[in-house]
Structure 1
Amino acid sequence: MAGQSLEDVYLLRPLNDALPTAEEKRRSRELEEFLRTSGLYEAVDEGILREEVLGLFNELVQTWVKGVCRKKNLSVEDARAHVYTFGSYRLGVHGPGTDMDTLVVGPRYVQRDTDFFGNEKHCLQYVLSQTPDVSDIQPVPDAFVPMIGIKYKGVQMDILYASLAMITLPEQLDLSNHAVLRGCDEATVRSLNGCRVTDTLLRLVPNQDVFRLALRAVKHWASLRGISSNVTGYLGGVNLAIMVAKICQLYPRAEASTVLLKFFILLKAWPWPRAIHLRVPEDHSLGLPVWDPRPGTRDSLALMPVITPAYPAMNSLYNVQRSTLEVMTAEFAAAADICTTFLHYRGGQSIDWSRLFTPVPFFTQHTFYIQAFPKAPAASSC
């Protein structure tokens, strides 16, 4: 890499910045119509309900924070918390019935272990259990990113909490400011970075509408092909968003249909384990662990690194194994072959998008299958 600029090292220069043709614009309209027909967009009423639920939840959170203040004999005058969304809802690519990822940010005297989780009356977990229209409360305090799952008026919410090293939060809090990470433990940094990564992604893509349509299409494809599960070593929402954003950067003026086709063609040829970056990684000397692929480090063993764009940079695809990488590269290659055919269409020929969005024939493509029967104690005995 000697003599190369950082833009070349991280592949940050556009490959093609040509304006889209009328045919490419038409194909994008057809792609959106195909996705709508496939039921990937929520109804207007569901969107309104989500906004209503967010408003109610914000009111509940403000009441909760003031209750914690009273419990600890602190002034409630300037007590406040902030509620943010992230993930697919914040990106604008959520579908009907999908979870709404939510982050609550509070002052330092409101702690995750003693005030967010718990069955004492001042704890948010308890407050939620006493709130009408809230059901299916699932606290997961020991998760990699601790959270409480709930349904609020039927809307599934995954709630994270971050306590900042501030006595009073300002009325306007910018999470993109790296100073918010100061003094935070690793679980809090991970919670904050859900929002920080999402917002950074939106700032780094040249055209958010193009990005959203292409990402919605890629998420649908990954789900149909059975490779949409970050937990089991496949693709998750964050890494798919970063990968699509990368194609948007390389083709900054392209239509969504072109971004989608180029996505598969480029990933078929991508020289893994070369990492995918959206920007030059930042190091703000806060002592937080960051992506470090130097020989001898754990990161140097990553098979398919897709790096988050917000500090501290991390590999969002750390779960990938050789077996799952082989499956994904085969799927990219098969999709790329179809997309290459589409690129050769001329004379106003329409693309049959259903050729690309075909469910994987899981129960006919293998010879042997394993069926598992997990057993666990009844909830009442836990």
Structure 2
Amino acid sequence: MTSSAPTSFPKRKLGVTPAGSFDGPLEADLHSTQELEQLLAELGLYKSKEETARQEEVLRKLDKIVKEWVKELAIQRGQVNTNVGLFTFGSYHLGVMLMNLGLTSILYVLDQIVPSDLDISQNSVLSGVDEVNLRSLSECRVADQILDLVPNIENFRTTLRCVKHWAKRRGVCVNWYWPNPVMLCSIHEDRELGFPVWNARFNREDRTHIMPIITPAYPCRNSTVHVSATTLEVMKEQFQIGNEVCQEIEMKQADWADLFEPLGDPPSDETAVSC
């Protein structure tokens, strides 16, 4: 899926499986993608330049506030070499954040002098961190790794916008034999750091996971650990319906708008459960 691409793609292997094809898109593919992008824009799934500038300004102000705050705390505690880093993650970091949604970010406070452009993709930043901080850092590291593992970031963002909106509308193309894990890259262990990673061959608890989708950054974890058998069946049904609609779109028997038909009445923001 791309709006502009060469006739063939560079044969760079990404992930754990080979590419299905290195052939470039046909004119019909390009036209279909343009139609999808136009629909996504009409649905308000792209930020305006003004909204982007506003969010960047918010992050700049937040960065200034936390640096001043950490500096004051460091002086009170007699520390002079403390530094702080502000990192984003989630939809904002992936470049698909919608308008009027909250920014997601973490603070990384360091007790020693480090470069201001600290590369948190290196496993060494995990040395000495506890489980709580590990989960926070992993959010940013996973987002970075995902962007590094896709061959075309803009095409990925278009696809992600499409899938996120489709999932929201349907309440949640291909067959997958669960519980085989979905992985973007091979799982690596770091014996020096020693954090547990997902491994169904050796970890009994990991073998009970219904729908393992493994995060690419160390330590690799199952991002869908709470999915139940019932939830998986609902998602598989919607995947099949979505695949059928996409096939109809390719055969000019449906439009992209048909893919986003809601499952039913949208759920209320406030849900009450009475017993």
TM-score, normalised by the number of residues in structure 1: 0.64
Q: Does 1:309 align with 2:216?
A: yes
How far apart in 1 are the matches of 2:42 and 2:137?
35
In 2, are the aligned partners of 1:293 and 1:299 still within 8 Å (CA)? yes
Which residue of structure 2 lines up, in the alignment, with residue 276 of structure 1?
182
1:62: how far off? 1.0
Q: Does 1:186 align with 2:131?
A: yes
1:344: how far off? 3.0
Give 1:80's match in structure 2, choosing from 79, 83, 107.
83
Which residue of structure 2 lines up, in the alignment, with residue 213 of structure 1?
158
1:1-382 maps to which residues of 2 (within 5 A)? 11-75=16-80, 78-108=81-111, 167-227=112-172, 265-266=173-174, 269-285=175-191, 286-294=193-201, 297-345=204-252, 352-362=255-265, 372=273
Q: 1:300 to 1:362 in 2, by over 3 A?
A: farther
How far apart in 1 are the matches of 2:245 and 2:59?
41
Paired residue secondary structure (1:339): helix
Q: Deviations over 1:133-172 (max 9, x none)?
A: xxxxxxxxxxxxxxxxxxxxxxxxxxxxxxxxxx223222
How many residues are treated as equivalent by the alignment?
257
Paired residue secondary structure (2:104): strand
1:289: how far off? 0.9
Paired residue secondary structure (2:189): coil
How far apart in 2 are the matches of 1:315 and 1:15?
25
In 2, are the aligned partners of 1:196 and 1:310 still within 8 Å (CA)? yes
How far apart in 1 are the matches of 2:51 and 2:272?
36
Which residue of structure 2 lines up, in the alignment, with residue 122 of structure 1?
none
1:42: how far off? 2.3
One-letter amino acid of the counterpart of residue 325, structure 1: L
One-letter amino acid of the counterpart of residue 270, structure 1: W
Q: Using the aligned pairs only, state the percent identity.
A: 36
Paired residue secondary structure (2:88): strand
1:342: how far off? 2.3
In 2, are the aligned partners of 1:81 and 1:169 still within 8 Å (CA)? no
How far apart in 2 are the matches of 1:281 and 1:194?
17
Q: 1:196 to 1:357 in 2, by over 3 A?
A: same
1:18: how far off? 1.2
1:79: how far off? 3.5
1:284: how far off? 1.4
Q: Deviations over 1:206-235 (max 9, x none)?
A: 0001000000000000011111xxxxxxxx
How far apart in 2 are the matches of 1:336 and 1:352?
13
1:283: how far off? 0.8
In 2, are the aligned partners of 1:106 and 1:169 still within 8 Å (CA)? no
How far apart in 2 are the matches of 1:73 and 1:11?
49
One-letter amino acid of the counterpart of residue 301, structure 1: T
One-letter amino acid of the counterpart of residue 372, structure 1: V
How far apart in 2 are the matches of 1:98 and 1:217?
17
How far apart in 2 are the matches of 1:38 and 1:204?
28
Paired residue secondary structure (2:106): strand
Q: Deviations over 1:28-49 (max 9, x none)?
A: 1110110111111223222111
Q: CA RMSD in A?
A: 2.0
1:103: how far off? 1.5
How far apart in 1 are the matches of 2:33 and 2:54?
29
